Structures are given as structure tokens and as C-alpha cells.
Amino acid sequence: MRCPFCKTADSRVIDSRAADDGNTIRRRRECTSCGKRFTTYEVIEKIPLMVIKNDGRRVLFDRNKLLNGLIRSCDKRTVSMEKIINLTDEIEKELRNPMDREVSAVAIGQLVMEKLKAFDDVAYIRFASVYRKFTDISNFKEELEELIESKKNDSTKSKN
């Protein structure tokens, strides 16, 4: 690692610890030439994730687009920003876990729907209305009936 002060290419690590929930390593270094200390951060390089759109185009996965969609779905709900960010992290982690370099937009939408169903009912319905392109009130009614039925089944399973 090059010293930012004297530009010598040799330094030694004094201290090393995890930062940012283990996604980054913080290293305290000392230059062997001038003796000054500095801090470096190592970040795990992420493999680019491509999204295959419905029309066949391939675009780079945009975490902010996912986060904004979740924020809109949770608008005026009692859900903290921290919980929304954690949900976004969880979804992104699941998308990147299989180490596939490409994922379909449909698979992302299904995963978000699955996670939102357990996260917040209203946010789930809001997201579903946009994702599934509801055209009239009957679409809402059908989705609500399915949600109510799945909640009944979940509570029945938990009692047994």
C-alpha cells in the first residue's frame, strides 16, 4: 500500500478489524519510511448483476431502484427506514447468493412480493398493484382474498 504522505510503496498493518457489518475491512497502517500512520478500507468487490427485462434487454441491477420501490410501497406506514433498508439488503443478498450473473425482472418481482407479504400487508398490496398491473377493483379484491387466505393458513399452521 502506497503511503499518502511520502508515496513510498511499503507500509505495515498495525491493526485490522471488520467494519460496515463485515462488508469492509478497516486497516490501520504505518509507513516504514516516514513513520506516519494512515487508515485504509478494503471492500469486497461485487460481481455485476444483470437484470433481464421482460423485453429481453439486459440492464445493470440498481439497488436504489429496489429501495425506492420499497419506500413507495411503505409510504405513510409505521415502518422505519432502517427496516426498509434491511429488507433491501436481504433481497439483494438473496439475489446475489447463487452467484448467477443474470436474474430476470420477474424473479426479482416475485422475491420482493414474497418478502413484502411477510413484512407488511399494505406495502405488499401496494407493490402488487403496480407489479401485477391491476386494472380494476376486482384485481385488488382477488389479491386481498389470497392474502387473507394465506394469513389464515399461516396462523393455523402456527397453532398446530
Convert the pLDDT of each residue in 28-69 to its tens digit: 999 999 999 999 988 776 778 999 999 999 999 999 999 999
**pLDDT for res 34:** 95
**pLDDT for res 108:** 94
Confidence tier at 70 by pLDDT (50, 70, 90): very high
Residues 39 and 59 in one domain: no
Q: How many structural domains compose the chain?
A: 2
Measured between alpha carbons, how far is 9 from 1 in angstroms, rounded to an integer?
Answer: 6
Residue 148 resides in a domain: no
Residues 20 and 95 in one domain: no
Residue 152 resides in a domain: no
Dig out the grid coordinates for 25 from the structure: 475491512
**pLDDT for res 158:** 64
Residues 38 and 77 in one domain: no
Question: Which domain, by its residues, includes 37?
Answer: 11-43
